[in-house]
Amino acid sequence: MGKKSAKLSGAEGFEQYYGQLYGDRWQALKESFAGEGSAVEYKIPGSQQSYFLDSASVLAALSLPLEEAENILDLCAAPGGKTLVLASRMPQDAKLSSNERSPERKHRLATVVQTCLPAGISERVITSCSDGATWCTRQSECFDHILLDAPCSSERHVIADPKYLNTWSPSRIRTVTTEQWALLSSAYRLLSPQGILLYSTCALCPEENDGMIERLYKKFNKDGSAFSLLEPDPDLNEVSAFAPSLTLPGFEKTQYGYMIMPDRQKGAGPIYFSIIRKEKTCFTS
């Protein structure tokens, strides 16, 4: 971000910043934010309650392959929607660690796991309260599948809340990307060789999306052999029994991942995701 963008602030600065990013499309995006969204009911047989989440969130969680998974991690899991999608799909002998750093949000996450999953599945989901950015200092390369739905600028919510809109500035993005990088680099260190990591946000800002994967390349994959990017292959049949009304939205290709954009997907999203397969250890002996 240059000196000009750094001076932007408040509602006017927000408008200028994202108007420059998206050009003529920005107006359509703003109008789509004002719509009803694309919430679907997710109900697993045997559970006490249903859970409602955006169809784009279902698609992102569905795009993490779980074949032969044994140890799965949802690193920033609250409020719990993507944890439910992962848990409902995981192999019968797999375990899912569902983590949240905020004690209050972790309590909500644990409640969702207990009420929205049947006992036979919830007993294989372990909820924890920990800072995901420092988890890699205690363990390494111990999860074969990881979902990192990172905290982000969440522009859709900024627009909807005058308090956040009026206090917005580009420094918000700089703060968030610092946090995202700490989480992503930790998640990568926690991922076992041949494991798969799905990174996602609900941000529109490229620095929080492809920009994070670019940093991952520079840090861990300079020669191109440490990890590879996978194409999404979500199978609606995996979750159709839990969300009969679900129609999976389409997605647009970016440099390193994919975007689900609400102006073209009937209100679904925004969601960015990138799927990374770790080809070899990131630790040297």
- Give Cβ neighbours of residue 118 (< 8 Å, ≥ 6 apart): 44, 45, 46, 47
Q: Which of 152, 202, 205, 282 is catalytic?
A: 202
Place of tokens 């999203």: 269
DSSP code for 252: E
How big is the chain by its Cα radius of gyration, in Å?
A: 18
202 is catalytic: yes
List of residues 6+ apart from 96 with CB closer than 8 A: 72, 73, 74, 83, 86, 87, 90, 124, 125, 126
Q: Is 38 exposed, middle or buried (0-12, 13-18, 19+ CB in 10 A)?
A: buried
Q: Find the Cα–Cα–Cα–Cα dihedral 148, 153, 155, 156, rounded to 10°.
A: 40
Give me the active site residues, please: 202
